[in-house]
């Protein structure tokens, strides 16, 4: 398909402290007992996109992620892991790997995407419209088919302003306006010239940008080179391209370049142009073509480019693991309603208990739960809507509700864990009660202690 995929896997995200640690970078956080990155990689593999560059912030993280990928995807994918320095933003990351980009179009995916929307479909839309950039959108908040309404409602009330505002044309194919980040705090500013060209713009606050973009390499490289201050793909490059779509500033300077590169390439380009013309004529002509035509004859002087969207249908799952809340939500959902993503087959009780796991008597594991390989549970335990990792030792009379327990965790008798995230190698001693807590790797929760809404982590040595 001549698409090259760049997976932005991030590093040790600060927003996810304490659940990320030196040992576990963001990309390796477990979702239903698999690293979150594996969801993206599997998804790409399904679309036959096998030529990947995984960009990781920081060398340590790169080593860990690289190690994991080469073990898990040996012979399946062709993956280059490219370490970049930290805090340079997504645009910075792309800038530093720019020389590795060779294909005509680049698919940029965030490594924390958990979704079943085919990237191939996005790529197809991108090609069909001969777009400069195509963004994938899905309904907001990140929800599966039957989202447990309460959590999303909570999210909304917490951060009412923290949404994208996206402007679409009436056919919902083109991206006309996007406001992200700090812009959301201000009043909306809609460009009149775009509105005039389209006539009608639908503004949506209920769509989420899934951080999956198909983008023309030539355009991407040009923007990266010209706009040195651009830091973020989503907050700088994409809005810039959307803003300038009726007066394209990109792709102008590289035409002579192409000529230098030899005639055959120009011919190729021409062929593609004529192809896209044929395609465009076959369907209704979009406003991009009509706009310059309407302005009598000066069309040659005015160039436009298209920014397209692919809107995932509502029954698709799409979420990004970019907060602790999202981490527990996604874990719960992948083990629950969106379980087709996990790749496991569920038992009759709608849960997955690894055959090697041991359960004591009168211990119940409810539906939508997961119990990893080699974990042991004592008597009279109760597990509801939780994911428990490998080789955990859980005593008797333990209640685990709405929680994520990673690997090698020891939980003493009579503990109660609710709505919490317990990282690997944590030891929770007897009768401890945790509610809405995050416990960092290797932490020891003393016996009988009670925590509520705390973030517990080992002191850095």
Dihedral over Cα of 65, 66, 71, 75: its sign: positive
One of 146, 153, 273, 295 touching another protein (CB under 8 A): 295
Smallest gap from Cβ 228 to another protein, in A, equals 10
Residue 134 · residue 341 · CB < 8 Å: no
One of 10, 167, 414, 419 touching another protein (CB under 8 A): 167
Residue 160 makes contact with another protein by CB under 8 A: yes
Give the span between the Cα atoms of 432 and 449, in whole angstroms.
5
Residue 182 makes contact with another protein by CB under 8 A: yes
Strands (DSSP E) found in 280-420: 307-311, 318-320, 352-353, 358-359, 364-365, 370-371, 376-377, 382-384, 387-388, 393-394, 399-401, 404-405, 410-411, 416-418
Q: Judged by CB under 8 A, how many residues of this single chain contact another protein?
A: 53
Q: Restricting to residues 376-415, which ones interact with another protein according to CB under 8 A?
A: none
Contact window for another protein (CB under 8 A) among 3-11, 214-222, 229-237, 253-261 = 229-237
One of 103, 146, 153, 190 touching another protein (CB under 8 A): 190
Residue 282 makes contact with another protein by CB under 8 A: no
Determine the length of the chain: 461
Smallest gap from Cβ 64 to another protein, in A, equals 27
Q: Restricting to residues 241-280, which ones interact with another protein according to CB under 8 A?
A: 243-244, 246-247
Residue 197 makes contact with another protein by CB under 8 A: yes
Give the span between the Cα atoms of 241 and 243, in whole angstroms.
5
Which of 156, 169, 146 is closest to 311 using CA atoms?
A: 169
Token digits of residue 342: 């996990």
For 73-141, where are the alpha helices, taking DSSP H only?
A: 89-96, 119-129
Distances (CA, A) of 179 to 175, 188, 232: 11, 8, 13
Give the span between the Cα atoms of 108 and 420, in whole angstroms.
32
One of 181, 262, 448, 453 touching another protein (CB under 8 A): 181
Residue 206 makes contact with another protein by CB under 8 A: yes
Smallest gap from Cβ 306 to another protein, in A, equals 17
Contact window for another protein (CB under 8 A) among 19-27, 118-126, 291-299, 401-409 = 291-299
Residue 430 · residue 415 · CB < 8 Å: yes
Residue 179 makes contact with another protein by CB under 8 A: yes
One of 205, 255, 268, 279 touching another protein (CB under 8 A): 205
One of 98, 195, 258, 457 touching another protein (CB under 8 A): 195
Residue 161 makes contact with another protein by CB under 8 A: yes
The β-bridge relationship of strands 3-10 and 427-428 is: unpaired
As beta bridge partners, residue 31 has 34
Contact window for another protein (CB under 8 A) among 98-106, 193-201, 261-269, 339-347 = 193-201
Residue 313 makes contact with another protein by CB under 8 A: no
**DSSP 8-state assignment for residue 398:** -
Contact window for another protein (CB under 8 A) among 215-223, 288-296, 371-379, 410-418 = 288-296
Q: Which residues contact another protein (rule: CB under 8 A)?
A: 89, 160-161, 163, 165, 167, 179-193, 195-206, 227, 229-232, 235-236, 239-240, 243-244, 246-247, 291, 294-296, 298, 301-302
């Amino acid at each position: 398909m001549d698409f090259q995929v760049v997976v932005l896997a991030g590093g040790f995200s600060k927003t996810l402290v304490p659940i990320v640690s030196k040992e576990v970078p963001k990309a390796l956080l477990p979702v239903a007992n698999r690293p979150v990155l594996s969801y993206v990689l599997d998804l790409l593999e399904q679309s036959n996109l096998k030529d990947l560059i995984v960009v990781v912030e920081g060398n340590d993280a790169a080593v860990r992620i690289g190690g994991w990928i080469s073990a898990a995807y040996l012979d399946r994918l062709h993956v280059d892991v490219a370490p970049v320095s930290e805090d340079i933003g997504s645009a910075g990351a792309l800038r530093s790997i720019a020389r590795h980009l060779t294909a005509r179009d680049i698919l940029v995916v965030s490594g924390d995407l958990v979704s079943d929307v085919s990237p191939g479909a996005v790529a197809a839309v991108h090609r069909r419209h001969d777009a400069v950039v195509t963004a994938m959108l899905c309904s907001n908040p990140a929800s599966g088919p039957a989202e447990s309404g309460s959590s999303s409602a909570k999210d909304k009330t917490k951060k009412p302003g923290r949404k994208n505002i996206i402007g679409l044309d009436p056919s919902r194919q083109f991206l006309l306006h996007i406001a992200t980040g700090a812009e959301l705090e201000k009043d909306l500013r809609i460009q009149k010239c775009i509105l005039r060209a389209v006539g009608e713009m639908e503004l949506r606050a209920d769509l989420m940008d899934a951080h999956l973009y198909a983008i023309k390499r030539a355009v991407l490289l040009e923007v990266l080179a010209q706009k040195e201050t651009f830091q973020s793909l989503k907050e700088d490059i994409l809005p810039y391209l959307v803003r300038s779509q009726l007066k394209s500033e990109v792709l102008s300077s590289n035409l002579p370049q192409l000529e230098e590169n030899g005639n055959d390439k120009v011919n190729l380009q021409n062929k593609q142009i004529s192809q896209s013309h044929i395609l465009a004529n076959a369907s209704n002509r979009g406003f991009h073509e009509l706009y310059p035509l309407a302005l009598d004859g000066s069309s040659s002087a005015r160039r436009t480019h298209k920014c397209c969207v692919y809107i995932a249908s509502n029954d698709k799952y799409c979420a990004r693991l970019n907060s602790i809340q999202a981490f527990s939500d996604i874990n719960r959902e992948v083990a629950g309603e969106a379980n087709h993503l996990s790749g496991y087959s569920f038992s009759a009780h709608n849960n997955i208990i690894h055959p090697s796991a041991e359960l004591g008597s009168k211990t119940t594991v409810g539906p939508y739960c997961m119990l990893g390989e080699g974990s042991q549970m004592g008597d009279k335990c109760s597990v509801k809507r939780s994911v428990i990792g490998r080789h955990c030792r859980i005593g008797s009379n333990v209640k685990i509700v709405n929680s994520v327990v990673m690997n090698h965790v020891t939980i003493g008798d009579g503990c109660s864990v609710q709505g919490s995230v317990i990282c690997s190698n944590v030891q929770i001693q007897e009768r401890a009660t945790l509610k809405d807590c995050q416990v960092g790797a290797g932490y020891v929760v003393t016996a009988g202690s009670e925590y509520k809404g705390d973030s517990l982590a080992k002191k850095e040595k």
